[in-house]
Structures are given as structure tokens and as C-alpha cells.
Amino acid sequence: MRNRLCRGAGWAAVLGLLLSQAALSQAPGERSALAPQDCNRACLMEFVHDYMAALGKRSAAGLPLAAGVRFTENNVEMPLGRAGLWATATGIASTALEAADTQRGEAAWIGAVDEHGSPVYYGMRLKVQDRQISEVETIVVRNSGLPLPFGDFSKLVHDPAFGEVLTDTQRRPRERLRAVADSYFNTVELNDGTVFAPFHEDCGRIENGIQTTRASAESAGNASSISPGCEAQFKLGIYYINKRVRERRYPIIDEERGVVVATGFFDHANSFDRYRLTDGREMRTALKWPNSISLVEAFKIVDGKIYRIETVFSYVPYFMPSPFYLHPQTAPPARGAGLPGRAALCDEACLLQVGDRFMDALAARRPADIPWAATVRYSENGVPMAVGDGLWASIRSKGADALLVADTRSGSVGWYGLVYDHDAPAYAGIRLKVVAGQVAEVEAIVARERNPGPWLAPAQFQLDPAFSTPLPSGERGSRQQLIAAVEGYARSMERNNGSVHTRIDPQCTRRENGRVVTQPQGASAVIAANAGELAWGCEAQLKLGLYRPLEQLRNRRYPVVDEARGLVLTLSIADFGLRETAYKTRDGVERPTAVRYPSSRELFEVYRVRGGRIEKVDAVSVHQPYLMPSPWR
């Protein structure tokens, strides 16, 4: 009976049973226990080339996209084919570093792209399932002025070694290749001179088009000027600033070529601003404040040793996560006793006291001094994180000239002023939610000097005394009236067609990060660089249509209203897609935008409304990746 089953049509039944069991017993995160084999390397690279060609034409219409395709640019999920670089690309480099993993059905392209005629470095990973693109993850490196390598595209040569097939003796299995790549990140993390990774004696590394392990004309000032060679740099502890290498993933492993493509984040907490190499030399950090870099990094591993490295990376907000990384599930917080009764609520004096206590504890880096609620939500520049990280590690003091405003109806407190990362000043806006005298929410917006956008030297900054002065009773408005006035200003910016949907004082001024942007020598971020010269005053700039590049002002919230002083604290995010880099204002003149790439601005604003008219606006304005979501929406 058994023999007849094996010899005859019963084989199909047995095979079907085995396959059905395999489909029900796949590894965690995998669709099936049977790896797809219908797309070889040539097939995967055809998908890559078609994708890049479509990007160059700014049209995804011909691409075979899965119904639920996921797309990210600089770790922000957005519609594929309509936003970000898809709206701004103007050319694709003819050569690139290419890699593929036929077992996982994933491939990568690392190279250069033109954006409105300006060069950007670009790293892309895509996943193919059932002959359709189901995932695309991209890193776009724009030369925004922050201190990162940014080489001359015309001189970039991708090492052909990445495409060369290894001999059997030079190869290593997938697990070992992954372990070697991971050992590199272990070496980079808290780099104190200990080397965990096996390096080839001729190891070389390219970062954003610049050779950083061998001296060259372009490499002056980077790691190669301190020491040549991969291993030698790590033995010196050059990269000690890397607090952690986070969310490491290895989506592409090619055993034949010994290639691993990894993604992840380097977190620079900058709790210190100087450190010593293992040879005793003192180093100073390039930046004083917390920051992260997001990367796509390719390794060529020969004989089990790292031979070549090429990476593209860009700054992102500190501790920003990847939508593709699966974080372990955490237990939900214990259920509280419910909202307190009115007797337990803070009055204004209580709220102001909590606000002062919080800022004193923050400046002293003493979170234990704060009366915390049982469950606390904390974010910094749009990224949720643990109390004690971020600004908590880098702050050394706060400015004495600051605004503190409370709202008993919402139980919220706002603080606006200067903080200092070591000796580097920054403009900060901080919102607290207080429940029964305890801090339950903290939202911090901090703008640093090298943040792209408006900036006034903090030594010249003074808080406008009008923000601290109570209004005569006849010039005050109700909560609803104050919010309506500010909402009308936001609508005027968002719809910027020359119409004004609120009442504005003729002498109204707007400041962003200390700088007046509504007077000569000033301009808000992204819009025409000389906006302050073109129109003087809040209303004049709106009537001229200077904010036309603004796509939307989203996630608008009004957590703090002070009727006595006519103050409204508002939080929002401004998106600039920049499909075009010039626009016509209401006078018919075409104006170039100050920048040429998509971005968003996270805003903490304080409005002063007097007699129903907006009189002053002060804002903390922070550059963010385009369409970055808010954890508070």
C-alpha cells in the first residue's frame, strides 16, 4: 500500500501535505517556510533598474507595485511615486553599487541622484514578492550644511569588488557574513579601542562619496586625517561618540559575492563634548547636542574579513525609529484610578510651580526631582524617548530670560527660552501636561544653531516684554476668540493666496529662533530667501503670498491659552514638498525658494493677541524630514 502511494499519484498528495504544513510553520515574520525562487539575481536587478528609471522620470505608473506597497524616505512612510524625491528628482547616476539576495527577494542600489539639478547621495532597498515590489526603503543625503562627508559625484568610483564572485574558499555562509557585519557595528558602538571585527589589511571605506580611511584631497578633516586604515581608526577609539548602533537589520546577504547590506542608526547622545583617543589625544565632538544618523551600508567580506565598505548616511532627529524595524511588544501600562476630581487639579500657581520645578530639574539633569505621574509620555523634536535621554544628557543650563505660561483648563504649562547643550545655546519650547500636580506629558522642541533655517545669535536674544505683560480688560478676548484668531493666521499661511483670514496689527512681527523674519535681513525657512526685504510685517507677507510653497500646516494644537496676557501657545508641523523651486507671488514676480529639497518644520509658537489683532509671534522652528509624523497627533 505504501509503495503504491509512493509510486503513483499519491506522491502529489504527500508533497501537497508537506507544503501545506510548511506554509503553516514559517519562521516569525516570514510569509512562508518555503523561500521564493522565482526571481534570480538578474530578475531582482531588473526590478531595481526599472525602479530607478521610473524615479528619474518622476512616474511610478509602469512599476509592478503590490497593493499594500510600503515606501519610506529618511524613515518617514509616505505614498510611493507622489512625495519626497519622487517629486523632485531630475536625474539618476549611470553607475551604482548594486547588491541582491535571491533567498529573501531583496536588492539594493547605492549611488547618486540629481534633485532639481543639485546632487544628493542615495541608498535604496526594495523587496520583491510574487513579482511585485512590496517594500522600498530609501535614504536621501542632502548637503544641508551639517558636518557630514559629502564628496564630489564626478570623482566617485564604486569599487568593482562588490560585484565580483568569490571562490569557494573565499566565501562564508550567510550566518557568518551577518555576524561579521554585526561585529563591525559592535566595534563602532562605544568605540573605546576594542576591535571585535576581522578586518582585511587593505580595508577601505567610502562615506557619502568620500574615502575616509585613506588620505586624499577630499578627505581633509575627516577620520582619515587622524589615522588611515579601518582597524587602526577603531584601535584609536575615534568613534567613541557612538552611544549605540540601533535597529540593525541585514536585509541583503549575497554568499557568492560576500556582500552584506545593512541598515540602522548611529546615536550620538553627546553627554560629553570632548574625549580622548587611546593615544592620549583630546578630541572635540563636531556637534554639541544629541543627533542620529540613518544609514545604508554595504560590506564586502573576503575570507571572513571586511575588505570594502561603502555607505550613505544622513542626519535624522535623535532616536528616530525606522517603520520597518519590529520593536518588541511591551506590556500596556497599569490602569490608573481615573481622572482626578476638580479638587485635585492644579490651579495656576500650582502649574507654574510644576513648570519651574521641571525646568530646574532638567537644567540640573535630575529627573528624580520631578513629580512624575504613574505613566509618562516624553518626546523631543517629534521622537518619543525615555526620560533621561536626549536633552537630559547634553543640557548644562538654561537661560534666565524665559516665558512660562499656564492654562488651568487644559492642565498644561508652556516654557519658551534658551537652553545650553554644553556651551552651545539653543532655542527651546517645552509643553507639560500636569495631572493632579504630576507631570504626565512632556513635548520638547529644540532648535540648534546648525539647524537649517532662521537663527539669531542667542547673545542678542531678549524675550519681548509684551509676552509677560497683562492686557487691559477691554483688550482681552475669550479663549475661543484667541484660538480663532490664531487659527485664522494658520489658514492664511496654508492657503497663501493673498487673502488674510484673521485680524493682524499693522506693526505685527514674527520671530523664528530669535530672528525677526518679517523685516529686512530676515526670512522664514524655505520660502524666498529675501522675504523680509520683499514685504515688511506679518500681514504684508501673507498678502504678497510669500508662503505659497507651504503645502499644509498640519497637526495644529492649542494646548495653552492665557486670556489675561492674550497668549496662545500652538504646536504644528509645516510641510514643504517643493515640487518646484520657484513660485510667483501676488505681484506676478517669480521668486526662487531658499532651499531646493522637500522638508518639514516642527513649530512651537507663542502668539500675542491684543484687542482681537495678532500683535506678535515668537516661534521655535526645527528642520525635520519631509512629512515626519507627530507622536501627539
The answer to whether residue 479 scores a pLDDT higher than 60 is yes
How many angstroms separate the CA atoms of 209 and 141, rounded? Answer: 11
pLDDT at 35: 62
The confidence band for 29, taking pLDDT boundaries of 50, 70 and 90, is low
CA atoms in the 13 A half-sphere facing the CB of 77: 10
The confidence band for 330, taking pLDDT boundaries of 50, 70 and 90, is low
Cα-to-chain-centroid distance, residue 151? 22
pLDDT at 343: 36
| Average pLDDT rounded to a whole number, residues 459-486 | 97
Other Cβ atoms less than 10 A from the Cβ of 376: the count is 17
The answer to whether residue 457 scores a pLDDT higher than 60 is yes
The confidence band for 226, taking pLDDT boundaries of 50, 70 and 90, is low
pLDDT at 328: 79
The answer to whether residue 592 scores a pLDDT higher than 90 is yes
pLDDT at 34: 63
Consecutive H or E run containing 231: helix 230-236
How many angstroms separate the CA atoms of 525 and 454, rounded? Answer: 6
As given in the structure block, the three cell numbers for residue 151 are 564628496
Quick: pLDDT tens for 538-585. Answer: 999 999 999 999 999 999 999 999 999 999 999 999 999 999 999 999
How many angstroms separate the CA atoms of 178 and 124, rounded? Answer: 19
- Per mean pLDDT, which range of 8-17, 142-151, 227-236, 607-616 is the poorest? 8-17
Letter string b/e over residues 335-373, b meaning 16 or more CB atoms within 10 A of that residue's CB: eeeeeeeeeebbeeebbebbbeebbebbbeeebeebeeb
| Average pLDDT rounded to a whole number, residues 311-328 | 95
Contacts of 454 by beta carbon, 8 Å cutoff, 6+ apart: 512, 513, 514, 515, 517, 522, 523, 524, 525, 621
The answer to whether residue 28 scores a pLDDT higher than 90 is no
Q: Is 158 in contact with 97 (CB distance < 8 Å)?
A: yes
How many angstroms separate the CA atoms of 235 and 166, rounded? Answer: 29
Question: What type of residue sits at position 49?
Answer: H
DSSP 8-state symbol, 160: G
| Average pLDDT rounded to a whole number, residues 473-497 | 96
The domains located in the chain, with CATH, are 33-142 (3.10.450.50), 148-322 (3.10.450.50), 342-448 (3.10.450.50), 453-633 (3.10.450.50)
Nearest Cα neighbor of 375 from 317, 311, 423, 442 is: 442
pLDDT at 331: 63
| Average pLDDT rounded to a whole number, residues 465-482 | 97
Quick: pLDDT tens for 101-131. Answer: 999 999 999 999 999 999 999 999 999 999 9
| Average pLDDT rounded to a whole number, residues 306-329 | 95
| Average pLDDT rounded to a whole number, residues 432-438 | 97
The confidence band for 352, taking pLDDT boundaries of 50, 70 and 90, is very high
pTM, two decimals, is 0.91
Q: Is 129 in contact with 152 (CB distance < 8 Å)?
A: no
Q: In degrees rounded to 5, what are phi and psi of residue 56? A: -60, -30
Burial of 317 (0-12, 13-18, 19+ CB in 10 A): buried
